[in-house]
Structure 1
Amino acid sequence: MYTVIGTVGSRTLRVLWMLEELGLDYEHVRAAPRSEDVVAFNPAGKVPVLVVDGTPITDSTAIITYLSDAHGRLTHKAGTLERARQDSVTQFLLDEFDANLWTAARHSFILPEELRLSGIKNSLRWELERSQHTLIHRMSEGEFVMGEELTVPDIILTHCLDWALMAKFPIVEHRLSEYHARMRARPAYQRAVARRDG
């Protein structure tokens, strides 16, 4: 049994979705960032946290990579060229999508008001649009980012596209809009999102 700590309206969704795709049992503790339940396992107060046999794992990408590796599904095998390509796309998404969205969030409501720079969001929006153009040339011709099977980058990309729309950062590539709709229709994604309202 795994324990996931964090709110669904955060990167915690990535972990819940991966667990649902893998069909694994887990407990979900809905706890806000920096709350006592979170700080007890992660002094930085960030979510998500996955507790495995009493040991906490932090960072959503590390968690979903661990889960896919541990269960031998939804990933390419470590040490293969396919895995190197998968990890490269994962890193691209973290650098070019997640980082821009996180910076926008910090300057919208996370940083103290006197440190926020509202104008920065224009450059971040431009960067995210440029990154979308680059990404579609790195995606496979299959249904998923890496080909015919959902893998770690799909979880990250779908969450980032969700986040972009919430932040009013447009999805400018039609192919990504179609991809996003397909991913959001997956039953496992729907079950994970339902925990937000459960």
Structure 2
Amino acid sequence: MYTVIGTSNSRAFRVLWLLEELGQPYRHVPANPHGEGVVAFNPAGKVPVLIDDGTPITDSTAILTYLTDRHGDLTYPAGTLDRARQDSLTQFLLDEFDAALWLAARHSFVLPEEMRLSAIKNTLRWEFERSQKTLVHRIGEGAFVMGDKMTVPDLILAHCLTWALTARFPVVETRLTDFLDRMRQRPAFQRAAAL
């Protein structure tokens, strides 16, 4: 059985949701970053951490990739053009969505107050809106980022859009708000959100 360390309001949500989608059993330890039991597995103190057979795996995207590859679901096979496109979209979301939201969080409550630059959030919101316009030209016509099949980028995008709304970053593209509504209706999403 897997163990997932991290609160469900962190990037650990992505891992919890994926495990629900995969129907895999897991134990959830809702620890905060730098909390008890986190640093022992990740010296940086960051969550999530997945423990599999006593081995810790850190970074939500690495964990998602590991689990989808291991279980052969919600991903395309390595070495295929579809997988290259999937990985490209994953990287785009991490660079353009996740990074902007994380930088805004750092300047809102993570960094010491004297190190925060609140004005940077306006620039980040502008970049976030611009990135949405780019993304809608890259995604498939189906219900998911890749088209008709749910994959790793769907988990990351839905998490980032949820995070954006919480952080008051507007989601301006209708296709993305519709996408988020569909993802939130998934039973696995709802089970993970209830944790």
**What's the TM-score, normalizing by structure 2?**
0.99
Q: Tell me the percent identity.
A: 72
Question: Which position in structure 2 is the counterpart of 1:30?
Answer: 30
Aligned residue for 1:117?
117
Long gaps (5+) in structure 2: none
1:170 maps to 170
Aligned partner letter, 2:53: D
Distance in 2 separating the partners of 1:13 and 1:30: 10
Q: Show the 5 A alignment for 1:2-151.
A: 2-151=2-151
SS of 1:39's partner is: coil
Instruction: Report how far residue 37 of structure 1 moved.
Output: 1.1
SS at match of 2:38: helix
SS at match of 2:153: helix
> How far apart, in 2, do the equivalents of 1:144 and 1:175 lie?
10
Cα distance in 1 for partners of 2:167, 2:133 equals 19
Deviation at residue 40 of structure 1 after TM alignment: 1.2
Count of aligned pairs:
195
CA distance in 2, matches of 1:96, 1:10: 18
Gaps of 5+ in 1: none
The amino acid that maps onto 2:47 is V
Query: 2:155, 2:177 → 1: CA distance?
Result: 15
Give the CA deviation at 1:36: 2.1
Write the distance in 2 (CA, Å) between the matches of 1:174 and 1:158. Answer: 14
Runs ≥4 in structure 1, deviation > 2 angstroms?
Answer: none
Matches of 1:180 and 1:54 in 2, distance apart?
35
Take 1:16 and 1:145, find their aligned partners in 2: how far apart are those partners?
20
Alignment of 1:175-194 (within 5 A): 175-194=175-194
CA–CA distance in 1 between the matches of 2:81 and 2:154? 18
- Please give the TM-score of this superposition, normalised by the length of structure 1: 0.98
Q: Distance in 1 between matches of 2:73 and 2:9?
A: 25
1: CA distance between counterparts of 2:44 and 2:35? Answer: 10
Deviations 1:56-103 (A, max 9, x none): 000000001100000000000000000000000000000000000000
RMSD of aligned Cα (Å): 0.4
Partner of 2:73, secondary structure, is: coil
